[in-house]
Chain A
Amino acid sequence: AQSVTQLDSQVPVFEEAPVELRCNYSSSVSVYLFWYVQYPNQGLQLLLKYLSGSTLVKGINGFEAEFNKSQTSFHLRKPSVHISDTAEYFCAVTPGNTGNQFYFGTGTSLTVIP
């Protein structure tokens, strides 16, 4: 079975400061990894994904994430946050060898302080 852990439920950060949102996963098989963002009263939007290849993945809105297989992590980073980045962020994993399963972490609420 697969699981996703987001260690921080809430992350406050000042505007223009860097941020890292942590995500760890557990799986007995190879997985594909995703980060989604949810703005208030909206659906989820894909930020970035890792399927294979370079372990550093760049996404929309200046976000990037690094896949670390030895540490089973996929942390999300942004060098300088804006007020508009205030939202809920979800890490997700799907196992590559079985269909349809798509697991989400419990989410991290990012609040950017002016």
Chain B
Amino acid sequence: DTAVSQTPKYLVTQMGNDKSIKCEQNLGHDTMYWYKQDSKKFLKIMFSYNNKELIINETVPNRFSPKSPDKAHLNLHINSLELGDSAVYFCASRLDPSTGELFFGEGSRLTVL
């Protein structure tokens, strides 16, 4: 039973389209994250939620909108996709927001043509 699951795993779309990536964790954690990993493997934090409350909102274009319907889910919606949005997006969860480690999903590879 996968702890942190993301769907879809692969996403290929055209510029200008809108797409969503879903994330669910069954670990009972209160804290969830979205990270973007670029082609050079650099991991950039995008958003973080504690029990449905937005805690971290890094400098991310407002075309990106997270949504947490409950503490087990954190979805990412992207409007008007651009070439530079092509990346692997990772969802992660964490038990303790101060000391705990992150548990990662397998990633969602987004390719914008």
CB-based contact A99/B98 at 8 Å: yes
Q: Which residues of B contact A102 (CB under 8 A)?
A: 33, 45, 94, 102
Given contacts A99-B50, A99-B55, A104-B43, are A42 and B106 in contact (CB under 8 A)? yes
Q: Is the interface of B mostly helix, strand, loop or mixed?
A: strand
The answer to the question of B68 belonging to the interface, with a C-beta cut-off of 8 Å to chain A, is no
Residues from chain A with Cβ under 8 Å of B48 in the complex: 100
Query: Chain B interface: which size bin?
Result: 20 to 34
Determine whether the beta carbon of A44 is less than 8 Å from that of B41.
no
Q: Smallest Cβ distance from B106 to chain A, in angstroms?
A: 5
Q: Does B99 contact A (CB under 8 A)?
A: yes
- A70-114, CB < 8 A from B: 88, 90, 92, 94, 96-104, 106-107, 109
Question: What chain A residues lie within 8 Å of B31 (beta carbons)?
Answer: 99-100
